[in-house]
Amino acid sequence: MFYQKIGTFIFRRSALYSFAVAGLFCALFTTNGQRAGREMPSRFMDRIDTEEGARRLSNFRRQRLEGDFCFEFELEHKPKRARTERYKGTMWGSWNDSGPVTRVLIPAPKDQKSNSTDAPHMVDLIIQNGEHPEVWIRHSPHSVYKRVEGRAIFEPILPGILYSPFDLQMPFIYWKDFVYEGPALFGVSRVVQEFLMLAPEGSASALSGIASVKVGLDDTYNALWRIETINNDDSVASRFTVESFKKIQDQYIVKRITLTDYPTKDRTTFNVKKASVGISLSHEIFDPYVQKKKVLFAPPSIKNL
């Protein structure tokens, strides 16, 4: 078997067959104005060529909602052998010169005792995506943001749930080397085009045992449906699945997504309960060096879904 690399696109060929062998949380929530939730999706398992694959991935990286957005959401964690736990939070999103930027605030549970050190605490994250991604976190409105670096990016944002800064940031969308794997079925009849994003050598992902991340983009709408994180031994570590879309203020967003840990079969679902899009937010709320945030609430126009 030999490999031919064209720019950052890798083409793999075997004697038996030929096939071309992907944190952008903001892009996850938009279908680029296309009606992924309503119109008939493609049902044809057609391969695309190298140039078309690179174009679709490039277009996906540039997708965004019109204006800024605010979501109120619920995290529902379902361990296989324990009771379900729920957390409520707010997400603000915008775009700057570096790319998508997101703020995620999950307050401490109201019934949490102030002197409990083991209980879940407040999480306040600022996530910058793009070619030079960064993440900052703090656990008190009066504390200083700290940069999340190295393997800490894979640690859960709250005890007991699956989501980590890595899952919210999705830096693999911008990894330069990728392999187009071809079409695949999502569900009963929806077709996705799959891209294998290859972890950069020496990156935190590679050092943590992540070899690649498989991304499935809708063949008709170029919307994200599925993500699989793959270990060095080719086993699937986790799967991120989009479960539903919703139209809000003439734009389509993802309403419900579930992250499943394969070794344990535990699941954490991110479910948008209220949303407002096409709004304008102060960029101060995405600045980790501005300690006192004035905008910590959902805009008045936020709507139930």
Question: What is the CATH classification number for the domain harbouring 217?
Answer: 2.50.20.10
Look at residue 186 and tell me if it is in a domain: yes
- pLDDT one-digit tens code per residue, 169-198: 888 988 999 999 999 988 777 899 999 999
Q: What is the mean pLDDT of residues 262-283?
A: 91
More confident residue, 40 or 235: 235
More confident residue, 209 or 160: 209
Indicate the pLDDT class of residue 222, thresholds 50, 70 and 90: confident
Answer yes or no: are the C-beta atoms of 26 and 95 closer than 8 Å: yes
Domain that holds residue 272: 2-288
- pLDDT one-digit tens code per residue, 37-83: 444 555 567 898 888 988 998 888 888 888 899 999 999 999 888 88
How far apart CA 105 and CA 123 sit, in angstroms, is 6
Look at residue 96 and tell me if it is in a domain: yes
pLDDT at 4: 32
Look at residue 302 and tell me if it is in a domain: no
The chain-wide mean pLDDT, for the chain, equals: 79
Helices (H) then strands (E): counts for the chain = 4, 17
Q: Is the pLDDT of residue 278 over 70?
A: yes
pLDDT at 259: 92
pLDDT at 20: 19
Residue 11 is encoded by which pair of tokens?
């083409």
**What percentage of the chain exceeds 90 in pLDDT?**
39
Residues whose CB is less than 8 angstroms from the CB of residue 290 and which lie 6 or more positions away in sequence, other chains included: 284
- pLDDT one-digit tens code per residue, 92-143: 999 888 888 999 999 877 655 544 455 557 899 999 988 888 999 998 888 8
How far apart CA 116 and CA 85 sit, in angstroms, is 18
More confident residue, 133 or 291: 133
Look at residue 295 and tell me if it is in a domain: no
Residue 211 is encoded by which pair of tokens?
């070899």
Answer yes or no: are the C-beta atoms of 77 and 266 closer than 8 Å: yes
How far apart CA 234 and CA 87 sit, in angstroms, is 33
Residue 23 is encoded by which pair of tokens?
């944190």
> Environment class of residue 50 by beta-carbon count within 10 Å: exposed (0-12), middle (13-18) or buried (19+)?
middle
pLDDT at 296: 52
Q: What is the mean pLDDT of residues 143-166?
A: 88
Q: Is the pLDDT of residue 23 over 70?
A: no
pLDDT at 205: 93
How far apart CA 13 and CA 291 sit, in angstroms, is 53
Indicate the pLDDT class of residue 21, thresholds 50, 70 and 90: very low
Look at residue 301 and tell me if it is in a domain: no
Indicate the pLDDT class of residue 36, thresholds 50, 70 and 90: very low
DSSP 171: G
Q: Is the pLDDT of residue 19 over 70?
A: no
- pLDDT one-digit tens code per residue, 2-11: 233 333 443 3
Look at residue 111 and tell me if it is in a domain: yes
Look at residue 297 and tell me if it is in a domain: no
User: Structurally, how many domains does the chain consist of?
Assistant: 1
